[in-house]
């Protein structure tokens, strides 16, 4: 039983990371109908900004809550700027062309960021400094939860609540919802759509950067290509939950995380090798597209943002 609880905790941890990234995919899709394939790389950029901030500001020497908060917020801001820049210079000039053009551009931007980092920093993984002291608490007998896992849960829940508040209680959020319903009508109502789109990219990128710094506390190995597979899985999570749907992205992320962990934890008992963990996410994607293309929470009256 405690093994089951432990696997559930493990799965929810990586699920929360996927969920944070999936939110960015889903928000951008909701507004522009664009799959922003560079989003996984923003997650990587966030982790690297955190890495350099920690070293530059002298927080790399030992665990400190102040260092962690500064690094977390700093990398979120930096990633938000990067996200806005990508939108401004790569997507906005071609927004009026066919959607396929933007999609290909997104793939190009993704490759550009990855290879720029490889060229500048090398492909060798780096060790992210430990900003949180290592400690585990036991619950339900033998199930252990570490401080870094608690941090992941706490920060991701806080950020999701904050996002919910921004979208439903603020003026910008209302404008975002309006743009997602119909961009041109929103424009006619006097909404500065360019600003709203920019803001959406900033919001999504900040969440991805938070995911990057949080994972780095859990697994200190960061490299320029870390965003590829994680980004793709988060994309699958967004589709699973119903792309464009915010609670769906969270649900999808958690489900993918749990599915993956259970394949690793229990797959061997039923003859599924642990190396199938990555295949599972994509098998789920195919099944969703076959049987429920709108995703779990997507429906005719879906609320898009």
Partner 1 sequence: MKRILLALGLIASFLFSFACERKGGPGAGGSTGPIVIGYYGDLTGRTSNFGQSTKAGVEMAADEINKAGGINGRPITILSEDDEGRPEKAATVVTKLIDQDRVIALLGEVASGNTLAAAPKAQAAHVPMISPSSTNPAVTQVGDYISRVCFIDPFQGAVMAKFAANTLKAKKAAIMLDFNSPYSRGLTEFFEASFTKLGGVIVDKQSYTQGDRDYKGQLTAIRSKNPDVIYVPGYYGEVGVIAKQAKQLDIKAPMLGGDGWDSTQLWDLGGDSLNGDFISNHYSVDDPSPAIQKFVTAYKARNGNVPDALAALGYDAMQVLADAIKRAGTTEGPQLKDAIAATKDFVGVTGTISLDKDRNAVKPAVVLKLQDKKYIYQETIYPEGMSAPAAPATTSASPAAAPASSPAKAGATSSPAKAAADTTKTEKPAPSPK
Beta carbon nearer to partner 1, 6 or 180: 6
Cβ neighbours of residue 119 closer than 8 Å, sequence gap 6 or more = none
Build a one-symbol-per-residue string for 195-224: x at contacts with partner 1 by CB under 8 A, - elsewhere.
Answer: --------------------x--xxxx-x-
Cα torsion 119, 120, 123, 124: sign: positive
Binder among 69, 115, 138, 182 for partner 1 (CB under 8 A): 138
- 219/229 Cα distance (integer angstroms): 15
Least CB distance to partner 1 at residue 154 (A): 16
**69 lines the binding site for partner 1 (CB under 8 A):** no
> Which of the residues 229 through 258 are near partner 1 (CB under 8 A)?
229-230
Of 165, 137, 163, 162, residue with least CA distance to 149: 137
Under rule CB under 8 A, residue 136 binds partner 1 = yes
Cross-strand pairs, 215:
none
Residue 268 binding partner 1, by CB under 8 A: yes
Taking a C-beta distance cutoff of 8 angstroms, is the pair 243, 77 a contact? no
Task: Give the separation between CA 267 and CA 273, rounded to whole angstroms.
Answer: 6
Are residues 227 and 18 in contact, defined by beta-carbon separation less than 8 angstroms?
A: no
CB closer to partner 1, 69 vs 133: 133
Task: Report residue 164 as tokens.
Answer: 């919910």
Q: Which one of residues 74, 265, 295, 298 is an interface residue with partner 1 (CB under 8 A)?
A: 265
With binding defined as CB under 8 A, does residue 13 bind partner 1?
Answer: yes
Query: Which range, of 70-78, 118-126, 181-189, 206-214, touches partner 1 by CB under 8 A?
Result: 118-126
């Amino acid at each position: 039983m405690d093994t089951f609880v432990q696997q559930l905790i493990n799965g929810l941890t990586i699920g929360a990371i996927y969920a944070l990234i999936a939110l960015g995919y889903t928000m951008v899709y909701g507004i522009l109908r664009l799959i922003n394939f560079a989003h996984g790389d923003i997650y990587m950029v966030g982790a690297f900004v955190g890495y350099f901030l920690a070293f530059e500001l002298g927080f790399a020497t030992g665990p400190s809550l102040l260092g962690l908060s500064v690094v977390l917020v700093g990398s979120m801001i930096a990633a938000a700027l990067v996200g806005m820049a990508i939108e401004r210079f790569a997507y906005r000039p071609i927004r009026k062309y066919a959607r396929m053009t933007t999609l290909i551009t997104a793939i190009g931007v993704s490759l550009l960021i990855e290879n720029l980092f490889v060229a500048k920093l090398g492909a060798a993984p780096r060790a992210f400094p430990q900003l949180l002291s290592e400690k585990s608490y036991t619950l339900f007998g033998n199930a252990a939860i570490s401080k870094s896992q608690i941090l992941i849960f706490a920060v991701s829940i806080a950020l999701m609540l904050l996002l919910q508040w921004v979208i439903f209680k603020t003026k910008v959020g209302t404008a975002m919802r309006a743009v997602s319903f119909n961009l041109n009508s929103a424009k006619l109502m006097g909404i500065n759509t360019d600003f709203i789109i920019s803001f959406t990219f900033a919001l999504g990128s900040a969440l991805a950067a938070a995911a990057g710094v949080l994972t780095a506390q859990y697994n200190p190995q960061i490299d320029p290509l870390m965003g590829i597979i994680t980004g793709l899985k988060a994309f699958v999570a967004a589709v699973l939950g119903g792309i464009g749907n915010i609670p769906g992205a969270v649900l999808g992320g958690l489900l993918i995380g749990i599915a993956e962990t259970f394949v690793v934890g229990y797959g061997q008992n039923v003859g599924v090798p642990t190396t199938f963990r990555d295949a599972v996410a994509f098998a789920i994607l195919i099944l969703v597209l076959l049987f429920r293309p709108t995703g779990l929470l997507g429906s005719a009256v879906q609320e898009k943002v």
